[in-house]
Structure 1
Amino acid sequence: MKAMILAAGRGSRLRPFTDRVPKPLVEIAGMPLIGHHLCRLAAVGIRDVVINVAYRGDQIQAALGDGQRYGVSIRYSEETPGALDTGGGIAQATSVLGTDDFLLVNADVLTDFDFRQLMSPSPGAGSGPGLTLALIDNPAHHRRGDFGLVDGRLRDIAPRLTYAGIGRFSPGLFAARAGERFALTDIIQRAIQDGHAFGVHHPGRWIDVGRAATLARARQIG
Structure 2
Amino acid sequence: MPRSRKRLAGAAGPDKKELSGKHIKTENSNETSAHVENSSPETVSDSKNCGKNLSNYWLMKSEPESRLEKGVDVKFSIEDLKAQPEQTACWDGVRNYQARNFLRAMKLEDEVFFYHSNCKEPGIAGLMKIVKEAYPDHTQFEKNNPYYDPSSKKDNPKWFMVDVQFIRIMKRFISLAELKTYHQAHKASGGPLKNMALFTRQRLSVQSLTQEEFDFILSLEEKEPS
TM-score by length of 1: 0.29
Which structure shows the higher helix fraction?
1
TM-score by length of 2: 0.28
